[in-house]
Structure 1
Amino acid sequence: MNMKDIFPEYFKDKEEISQIWKDCVFVFDANVIIDLYRYSDSTKKSLLDALRKFRGRAWISYQASEEYLRNRASVIASEEVHYADASDKIDKFVSVFKDILGKNRQHPFISEEASGEFFRAAENIKKELERNGKEYFSRVSDDEIRKELVKIFDGQVGRGFDEDELNEIFERGIDRYNKKIPPGYEDVDKCNGEIDDGSMSLEQKKQVFGDLIIWEEVIRKSVEDSKNIILVTGDVKEDWWKKSKGKTLGPRTELIKEFENRTGRKFYMYTSYKFLDISSENEGGDSIKDAVEEIKETNVSVSNKNDNVIGSVFRKINEVGGVGGFYKEDVWVNDNNEESEDYNNSQLDSYLDKVYMLSKEISELDKKNYLYEEKISRHKARLERLKDLDEYLGVDAQDKKTILTLNNVIDSLNDAQKRVQRELLGKKLEMEYYLTEKEG
C-alpha cells in the first residue's frame, strides 16, 4: 500500500473533493441558517439561492434544527438593537456638530446650505433606521426566512436520538472532550469546564455536547444513505478546523479519519462563505464577492460575540416554552399547521409589543442620560479652568459670578439627570417584572 492509501485523511486534493461534491449530501449546521438573520438583504438572497440549488441534497440534523428554532428569536432581537444603536450614534454626532456651529448656529467655514443638508440627511437616515428596524423585528412573528428554510429542508430533517442514545453520546463525549478529540471540546466553557460532575440537566448537556450530537447524526446519515458528506458550518473554532499562525488550513484530519473509518464514505467541510463562493463560482460578479466577504466577517465576529440583554429576553422565552412553546416542532418539520402557528404567534405578538415599547423607552432614556452626562462634563471642565485661573492669577467679579452660575447649572443638570436615571431604573424594573410575570 502507498502512503495515500494508508493516510487518506491527509490527501484531499481538488479532484477528490470535486468528486465528493457531485453526489454528496450537503449537511448544514445551525449557525449557517441562523446567520441569515445577520446578513444584508443581498447576501441573504445569495446564500438562500445557493441552498435552493441543492434542494433534495441539502439536509439538516435534528439537533441543528432544534438549535435554530431555540435561538432564532434571540438573534433577531439582538440584531434589531443595532438599528437603535446606529440611531443613537447619529444623535451624538449631530450633537457634536451643533457644538461646532456654536450659539450662532452657523460655522464661518460651513455654509448654511451644507449644514442644512447635513441635518436633513441625519434625520432621513434616522427615519429609515426606525422603519427598517420595525420591519426587521416583525420577523419574530412573521418570518419569511423561516418559511423559505422549511421549503428547502422539506423531508430533509434528521430524526434525532432518544434519551438513552443521547446519554451514551454524553458518556463518550466526556472522554472525548477530556482528550480534546474533535468536534465540540471547546464548548466546555458553556459549563465552566465541569463536564463530568453529574449536575447538568439533559438540556444543558445537549448544549455542551451539541456539536458531538450533530457529528453523530451526520455519521448515521452517511451510513444509512450510503452517501458522502460535505458539512457546511459557520463555526470557526479549532475543534473543527486545522489552523496555523491564524490561518485555517482545512478540516481537522481527525474528523476525516474518524468519519471514513466509521462509514466507509468520504467527508469534507466548508465554511459558509467558502460554500457560497464555490457553489456560485460560475456566476461571479461583485454581488457574490461582496456576499462572500460579508459572510466571512460575520463568521469571525459571531464566534466571539456575546448576546445582548434584549437577546437574552427571547432566550428566556424559549427556555420556558422550549422549542414547542411559541414555535412548535411540527411547524419546522411540516409547515401546514397554519392555525396552530397563528394562535401561538398572536400570543407572542402582544408580548413582543410590550417588550419592544419598553426597550425603545429604555433606549431613549439611555440617550437622555448620556446627553446630560456630556453637558455636565463640559460645564465641569469649564468650571475647573476658571478655578485654576482664580487660584493662580485671580479673577474679577464677573468671573466669580460665572463660577457661581456654572455651579448652579451643574446642580440643575445633576438633578435632571437623577430624574432620568430614576425613570430609567423604573423602566428596567418594569421590564424585569413583566418578564418574571410571564415566566411565572
Structure 2
Amino acid sequence: MKSEFKWYFKPDADEIERIWKDGILTVDANVLLDLYRYHERTRNSLLESMQNFEGELWLSRQASEEFFRNRNKVIVSSSKTFKEAKDEIEKLRNSIESTVSQLKGNRIIPADVADKMLEEISPSIHNAQERIEEAKRTHPNFLNEDDVLEKVAALFEGAIGDKFPDADLAKITAEAEERKTNKIPPGYLDDGKDGDRPYGDFFLWRQILDYSKNNSKPILLVTSERKEDWWEKLSGKTTGPRIELLREASEYTGQRVLIYQTDRFLEFSSQRKGQTVDTDAVEEIRAVDNLRSEKEHAVEVLSQDVISYSEDHHSGELIVHLRRPVKNFTSSGHFDPVMDGPPEVSVALISAPTELPNCSIRAGTGTNYDFNIHIKSDNQNELLPVGEYVFEYNARFVREEIVE
C-alpha cells in the first residue's frame, strides 16, 4: 500500500534526515520579505538556519521576482509601523483622559481617585512613547543601506531558477486559470490579485516541481502561507499540507516534498543542530505571520453550523466576516464527516450588510471534504461592504446507478 499511496504516509526519520542532508531547500517570496519585518535577532536566526542547510539552496524565478517587486513596499510599510504604534499610544492617552474627565464629573467618587490614576498612568505612556521613538531612530534604513538584500543575494548566488520558456507560457497560464476555476491547490484563493498575480502560487509550485524533477532531488519548501489552498484544515486545526500537493509532487517528480511554515522550519533546523530553539524568534515569526494574514486576507470564517449530514448529504450555515471592502471574495467550509464523493453544492445568502450591491453567488467543490463559496459584485464600481455574511449551503452527492 505504501508504494501505491506514498504521499498519504509521513516520511520516517531516516527519510527526513536524507532530505535535510541531500535535498533542495527553497522558500517563497514572503519568507524573504519577512526578514525586513523582524528584529535583527530573529532575522539572523532565520538566515543562519538557511545557511546551515546541508543540501542545496535554490530559489525559483517566481519567488525572486516577487521578492524584488515587493521589497521597497515592505520596507516602507515596516517603517510606517512606528507611526501606527505612536498613534495607538495617543489613542490610549486620549481615552484615559476622557475617562478621568468622566470620573471627575461623578460627584460620589472622590476627585483624587481620577487624579491619582492619571498621575500613575501618565509616566508609563510617556515612557512607551520615548521607547517607540528610540526604536524608530535605531531601525535600519534599508532603502539606503540594505544588508538583508546582500545576505539574501549571497545565499542564492548562482542558484536562481529559470523563467518558463516563452513557448510554454500561454499553456501554463491557461492551466493556472483552469486549476483556479476547479479549486486545485495551490493559489486558488488569490482571486483579488491583479494581472497574472492570481497565478503566482501555481507558477512558484510548478517551477519547484520542474526543478525537483529535472534534478531528481527531493524538495524542502519553506512558506509563509497559512491559507487553506496550501494547508488542510479540519475543525479549525491545521493537519498538514494539502494532500493534493503531496500527491502531485510525488507523481510529477517521483520525489518527496516536505513543506514547512517558517516558524516550524526554524524550530526543526535548531533541533537538528542540537541548538536551543530561540523561542523569542519563533514567537515573533508567528506574530508577523498572523499580522500579515489579518492585513492581507479580507475574509475570516467566524463559524460553520452544520444542520444535517450523512455520507451523501450535508447542509448548514457558513458565517464569515469581511474585513475590508472588495470586489469579490471566497470563503471555505468543510464536510465533517467527509462525503462519499465530490457533491453538487448550492448556496444562498441569507444575511448581509444592508448596503450590499447586486451580486452573484456560486459554490463549488472538487473534493469530498471541503467546498468554496464565491460572491462577486455585479458592478465593478461597487464594492462588497465590510460586515457579516451568512450563507446557507446544501451539498448532495449523487450516486451513479449501476446498470446490470
TM-score by length of 2: 0.64
Q: Which residue of 2 aligns with 1:28?
A: 27
Measure, in 1, the Cα distance between the counterparts of 2:95 and 2:289.
Answer: 34
Q: Which residue of 1 aligns with 2:255?
A: 265
Q: Which residue of 2 aligns with 1:254?
A: 244
Measure, in 1, the Cα distance between the counterparts of 2:192 and 2:95.
Answer: 42
Q: Which residue of 2 aligns with 1:436?
A: none
Measure, in 1, the Cα distance between the counterparts of 2:293 and 2:118.
Answer: 41
Tell whether the 8 Å contact from 2:19 to 2:219 is kept in structure 1 after alignment: yes
Unaligned runs of 5+ in 1: 192-203, 308-440
Matches within 5 A, 1:181-330: 181-190=184-193, 204-205=195-196, 207-281=197-271, 282-283=273-274, 285=276, 288-306=278-296
Once the 2 structures are TM-superposed, how far is the Cα of residue 108 of structure 1 from its aligned partner?
3.1
Q: Does 1:165 align with 2:161?
A: no
Q: Which residue of 2 aligns with 1:84?
A: 83
Once the 2 structures are TM-superposed, how far is the Cα of residue 51 of structure 1 from its aligned partner?
1.5
Q: Which has the higher Rg, Structure 1 or Structure 2?
A: 1
- Residue aligned with 1:79, SS: helix
Mark the CA change 1:107 to 1:14 in structure 2 (over 3 Å): closer, same or farther: farther
Query: 2:12 is matched with which residue: 14, 28, 33?
Result: 14
Q: Which residue of 2 aligns with 1:49?
A: 48
Q: Which residue of 1 aligns with 2:2?
A: 4
Tell whether the 8 Å contact from 1:83 to 1:133 is kept in structure 2 after alignment: yes
Tell whether the 8 Å contact from 1:101 to 1:107 is kept in structure 2 after alignment: no
- Once the two structures are superposed, what CA deviation does each residue of 1:377-399 show, in whole Å capped at 9, x if it has no partner? xxxxxxxxxxxxxxxxxxxxxxx
Mark the CA change 1:57 to 1:122 in structure 2 (over 3 Å): closer, same or farther: same
Query: Identity of counterpart residues, as a percentage?
Result: 36
Query: 1:180 is matched with which residue: 183, 207, 215?
Result: 183
Once the 2 structures are TM-superposed, how far is the Cα of residue 259 of structure 1 from its aligned partner?
1.6
Measure, in 2, the Cα distance between the counterparts of 1:211 and 1:101.
Answer: 52
Tell whether the 8 Å contact from 2:51 to 2:155 is kept in structure 1 after alignment: yes
Measure, in 2, the Cα distance between the counterparts of 1:175 and 1:85.
Answer: 41
Of Structure 1 and Structure 2, the greater strand share is in 2
Measure, in 1, the Cα distance between the counterparts of 2:267 and 2:227.
Answer: 20
Query: 2:112 is matched with which residue: 101, 108, 111?
Result: 108
Once the 2 structures are TM-superposed, how far is the Cα of residue 118 of structure 1 from its aligned partner?
5.4
Matches within 5 A, 1:320-399: none
- Once the two structures are superposed, what CA deviation does each residue of 1:267-303 show, in whole Å capped at 9, x if it has no partner? 1211111111100114554x61222222223223323
Mark the CA change 1:60 to 1:123 in structure 2 (over 3 Å): closer, same or farther: same
- Residue aligned with 1:167, SS: helix
Measure, in 1, the Cα distance between the counterparts of 2:202 and 2:64.
Answer: 15
Q: Which residue of 1 aligns with 2:158?
A: 155
- Residue aligned with 1:5, SS: coil
Tell whether the 8 Å contact from 1:100 to 1:107 is kept in structure 2 after alignment: no
Mark the CA change 1:56 to 1:130 in structure 2 (over 3 Å): closer, same or farther: farther
Q: Which residue of 1 aligns with 2:372?
A: none
- Residue aligned with 1:190, SS: coil
Measure, in 2, the Cα distance between the counterparts of 1:8 and 1:55.
Answer: 25
Note the aligned Cα RMSD (angstroms): 2.9
Tell whether the 8 Å contact from 2:249 to 2:257 is kept in structure 1 after alignment: yes
Mark the CA change 1:107 to 1:266 in structure 2 (over 3 Å): closer, same or farther: same
Measure, in 2, the Cα distance between the counterparts of 1:35 and 1:153.
Answer: 17
Mark the CA change 1:90 to 1:170 in structure 2 (over 3 Å): closer, same or farther: same
Measure, in 2, the Cα distance between the counterparts of 1:283 and 1:101.
Answer: 54
Once the 2 structures are TM-superposed, how far is the Cα of residue 237 of structure 1 from its aligned partner?
1.3
Tell whether the 8 Å contact from 1:235 to 1:271 is kept in structure 2 after alignment: yes
Matched residue type, 2:279 = K
Tell whether the 8 Å contact from 1:186 to 1:239 is kept in structure 2 after alignment: yes
Aligned length: 290
Tell whether the 8 Å contact from 2:21 to 2:55 is kept in structure 1 after alignment: no
Mark the CA change 1:68 to 1:55 in structure 2 (over 3 Å): closer, same or farther: farther
Measure, in 2, the Cα distance between the counterparts of 1:143 and 1:244.
Answer: 41
Mark the CA change 1:171 to 1:100 in structure 2 (over 3 Å): closer, same or farther: closer
Q: Which of 14-23 and 74-83 deviates more?
A: 14-23
Q: Does 1:129 align with 2:145?
A: no
- Once the two structures are superposed, what CA deviation does each residue of 1:174-224 show, in whole Å capped at 9, x if it has no partner? 221222111111112325xxxxxxxxxxxx11x111111111211121123
Tell whether the 8 Å contact from 2:97 to 2:118 is kept in structure 1 after alignment: no
- Residue aligned with 2:133, SS: helix
More contact order relative to length (CA 8 Å, sep ≥ 6): 1
Tell whether the 8 Å contact from 1:65 to 1:157 is kept in structure 2 after alignment: yes
Of Structure 1 and Structure 2, the greater helix share is in 1
